[in-house]
Amino acid sequence: MYIGNSHYHIESKKEHEIGTVEVYKNNVEKTGADGIQIGAAREHALVYDNIIREFGLKKSHGHKSGFQINSGTKAIIYNNKVFDGSGAGIFISGDGCLVYNNIVKNAGNGLYLTSRYTSPDTSYKAYNNTFVDIFGWAIYSTLSSTKAINNRIYNNIIHIDATRSEKYIVTHHNSINIDWSEKNNIKTNDINTLNFKDYNNNNFQLTEKSTIAIDKGDCNTISNVTFDALNNPRIIGNSCDIGAYEFDRSTLNTENISPKKNNNLLTIYPNPIKDKQLQYSIHSNFNSIYLIEIYTATGQLLYKKYKTHNKEKNTINLKNIVTLTSDTILFLKVTMNNIYQSKKIILSK
């Protein structure tokens, strides 16, 4: 699928602009060259909910990407899946980009960034993507214009084929001082550390055991990414998760197993509490997700949150949860790995 022209950056060619493009919900399979190519979309190109499989079969240099975004294009690329190709899953030579919530598996690069035509204050940003089984440099940048600012690579899962020696993120900026920042990216060649839901069947959703990614991202500066690859809210827990998916807490106890009581799961201290600073510890050898709830003596739910167990002392500030007019009794309940414990809390006025 080829949309628009490829050489907007070459003045002598005078190729026309195509304004705004929206490319969505396409299945593209077994292409000799690029899967989907877009060029000269000067206002913006929205590219989402597409699936590309087996691209670049001819292995022709410069024509073997899953998505090829050519010069002049301002691209927003999200919620796409790209599988099995000889080149980059996503190749960007456009006029800036925002790339998020995409899955790329078994490709030469996960994301390739270069700047052939750059407007002032253009940015190249990649947030919360999942790159798996990449057999070249996972994220490769040859940006060459100082006009590009606020270039950010945040919260991505980057997995390289364990049989390869390539690097996770490589920048060749030709000694130019490019505004470039990387943060909260998982870099691994061991797929087992990620604990995906069903790696063998290309399901890269997180599970309860994906503690390397759950709540480990930082989305405070990413105001325009509010949902994940399944269109669920981007922040479900304490912070956003790393990769294309937020962990779905509703999958906990999906087998409808009633949790069993365990009287040694939870410690609260001190108790009674005088300053509304509830401190507690959970006794478990597993770094799992747990559910914490606080109830009144009459059963009213005051607080509910999923958290990641870190084997350390935890604190909840009760000042915004309960108003004291006298000594108050509450109940704290923790559920984890199909066991639970409830304990009485006494709040002293």
229 plus 267 within the same structural domain? no
Report the domain count for the chain: 2
What range does the domain containing 55 cover?
A: 2-251
DSSP-based helix, strand, coil % in the chain, nearest 5: 5, 40, 55
Tell me what pLDDT residue 189 has.
Answer: 94
267 plus 183 within the same structural domain? no
Task: Answer for the pair 328, 348: CB distance below 8 angstroms, yes or no.
Answer: no
Q: What is the pLDDT of residues 147-189, one digit of tens each?
A: 888 999 999 999 998 887 778 999 887 657 889 999 999 999 9
**CB-based burial label for 198 (10 Å; 0-12, 13-18, 19+):** exposed
- Helix (H) or strand (E) segment spanning residue 260: strand 260-261
> C-alpha distances in angstroms, 333 versus 77, 233, 278, 298, 348?
42, 25, 13, 14, 20
Contacts of 256 (CB under 8 A, 6+ apart): none
Tell me what pLDDT residue 258 has.
Answer: 67
299 plus 182 within the same structural domain? no
Residue 254 confidence class, pLDDT cut points 50, 70, 90: very low
150 plus 242 within the same structural domain? yes
120 plus 242 within the same structural domain? yes
Tell me what pLDDT residue 257 has.
Answer: 55
Buried b (16+ CB within 10 A) or exposed e, 289-319: bbbbbbbeeeeeeebeebbbbeeeeeebebe
The share of the chain scoring above pLDDT 70, in percent, equals 92
